[in-house]
Amino acid sequence: MTIEIWCEQNDKKCNILSTDKDIKNYNNNKYFIIHQDYNKYLDRKLREYGEFHAERTMRMEKLIENERENLRDEILNWTRENLRDKETYISDFNQKILQIKLNKISADFDDYNIVGIDDYTIYVEAKPVINYSVEIELEEFHSASFDKETETWNRFTTKKKKKINQQETIIWDLYADTPQNNQELNELGIDDINRGMKLKITIGNNVYTK
């Protein structure tokens, strides 16, 4: 028996969480309530989960609002650290990074969803958006010749600059202990930005990545 037939026979509505394109064919089905954004659906349901949890989530939102600038600064520092690291950039085998210049970096901390609540803790998944402009100075190796007189190899290289303007959304897990009383929250727990994964920026023309 399919879900559709079961709903019709029992006159029950069903919440469907799916990003499958074919599910759009059921948009007009009176028994199906279709949600394509799981996090927003979960966030909404958790906020509806009783007056006690609603009060706790309000305290969590207030804490995030109070810490917004600090959170934004932490994201900016993380982004600068990544962009200054040569390991961040994926280049061709014949390229060497000589210099990295950071032109502009910004971060927006507006999008976050409550993804879990238990008796003691509220969990939040934030999705900060970072924008950055970087200029990379590269040395590209083209060929080499062997000098018999000096018995040395001469390398032929050229230097060039490459500008990168990019926007990325990263994931950041936050949490806070929320006591079962009206005490104000004063500490926000922070997991690794982007769940411990560093930025990876492709600058080569012939780079193959999985």
| Per-position DSSP letters for 45-89, written without gaps between them | HHHTSHHHHHHHHHHHHHHHHHTHHHHHHHHHHHHHHHHT-GGGE
Residue with the two structure tokens 């971060």:
107
Reported as a pLDDT band with limits 50, 70 and 90, residue 174 is very high
Contact 36, 18 (CB under 8 A): yes
Closest-CA residue to 134 (of 68, 45, 202, 74): 202
pTM listed for this prediction? 0.68
Say which residues have a Cβ less than 8 Å from residue 30's Cβ, sequence separation at least 6. Answer: 13
Half-sphere exposure of 117 (CA within 13 A, CB side): 23
Give the chain's mean pLDDT: 80
H or E element in which residue 3 lies: helix 3-10
pLDDT at 105: 95
Tens-digit pLDDT profile for residues 31-76? 777 776 767 776 776 666 655 677 778 888 888 999 999 999 999 9
128-145: average pLDDT: 85
**Beta strand pairing status for 112-117 and 121-126?**
antiparallel
Q: Which residue has the tokens 């948009």?
A: 27
The pLDDT tens digits of the residues spanning 81-118 come to 999 999 999 887 778 888 999 999 999 988 888 888 88
- Confidence band of 180 (pLDDT split at 50, 70, 90): low
